[in-house]
Structure 1
């Protein structure tokens, strides 16, 4: 089973997420929206399909990374998230919460051995 297929994003805490997004957009020319700074690319095996990787600043007080106390979180693109979560659970990996489904995909969370929260994202087919 294929597990991680790419980097979905890097999330980090900062004092003023809107100002940070604006700085990166204005100073470095990275396209930005409310979710962060967006890097669009094409899949090597299916060049007609595009993908998205996001650099996303979060408020310093955000609890989205909990239970990790680290100021960052990685987001990895995956295939078949429910099957992967069950496989990881069977291997003894700590799973955080339940899978959530949004219009843009399914999300699940795990902890690495250092307690870093990792978000797993199965993008919706339309992406």
Structure 2
């Protein structure tokens, strides 16, 4: 069985994480929480029904390469899903690799839009027997 995403996050790569924190917290009024695991730190703004905005500081910030919609695989199975997508001819941009708190993989939809799957490290990467 191929796993299906249950929640969604929109991930932004930003040039100045502290400026971003101030904007989303002070200007937009979102509850923004600092996280460890990426330098200098990264941010999560929890929205409703399991939706999140996530921010990472990056030296490679260009218009058009952010944000990325990231689907959360609560039950795991990222290896199975990415293998199945590749077998269907989907362009895999980044194979399954370590990400803060777990594993992720990036791929393109038919129009070239970047999407990603992420799962926590605690759940199995494969759900096959």
- Same fold by TM-score greater than 0.5: yes
CA offsets 1:55-86 (integer angstroms, 9 cap, x no match): 134568526x9xxx443211111230000000
Indicate the residue corresponding to 1:18 in structure 2.
18
Q: CA offset at residue 11 of structure 1?
A: 2.1
Matched, 1:117 2:109: no
The 3-state SS of whatever aligns with 1:92 is coil
Matched, 1:35 2:39: no
Indicate the residue corresponding to 2:127 in structure 1.
none
Asked if 1 retains the 8 angstrom alpha-carbon contact of 2:47 and 2:53, the reply is no
In structure 2, how many angstroms separate the alpha carbons of the residues matched to 1:10 and 1:96? 17
CA offsets 1:76-113 (integer angstroms, 9 cap, x no match): 11230000000111111111132112461111111111
1:75 to 70, 73, 85: 70
TM-score (norm 1): 0.68
TM-score (norm 2): 0.67
In structure 1, how many angstroms separate the alpha carbons of the residues matched to 2:30 and 2:47? 13
**Structure with the higher fraction of residues in strand conformation:** 1
Taking a change above 3 Å as real, the CA distance of residues 36 and 101 of structure 1, as seen in their structure-2 partners, is: same
Moved over 6 A (4+): none
Contiguous gaps of at least 5 residues in structure 2: 35-40, 124-129
Asked if 2 retains the 8 angstrom alpha-carbon contact of 1:25 and 1:31, the reply is yes
Contiguous gaps of at least 5 residues in structure 1: 43-51
